[in-house]
Structure 1
Amino acid sequence: MTGPDERLPSDWEKARRRAEVFGEVLPETTRDEREDPEARDRRDGDTWLKEQVPPHHGG
């Protein structure tokens, strides 16, 4: 509740406060847009899948 001498925060003040508390909900760009496509790991699917097997499952 605000008193007679208090003003309501503007929309940008609310947004800034929300960002301080919760962080950025959605980034401006996606990870794919930020990464260099040539720098991505070029392993095939089978290699990646085999690397994901936990040690206790043998391999």
Structure 2
Amino acid sequence: MPRSRLADVFGDVLPDTTSDEREPETPSRAADDWYRENRPPHHDRD
């Protein structure tokens, strides 16, 4: 089956670049805030 026909049937499942070819993403502040807000109470004990 030609590659273009496969893409028509199954879509483009592979990314143009792999994760090791891209620059690393910096974590957003919103993600850090979510973890702080959802941290279990027993983690606050010292």
Normalised by the size of structure 2, how large is the TM-score? 0.40
Normalised by the size of structure 1, how large is the TM-score? 0.35
Highest relative contact order (Cα 8 Å, sep 6+), 1 or 2? 1
Answer with 1 or 2: which has the greater Rg: 1
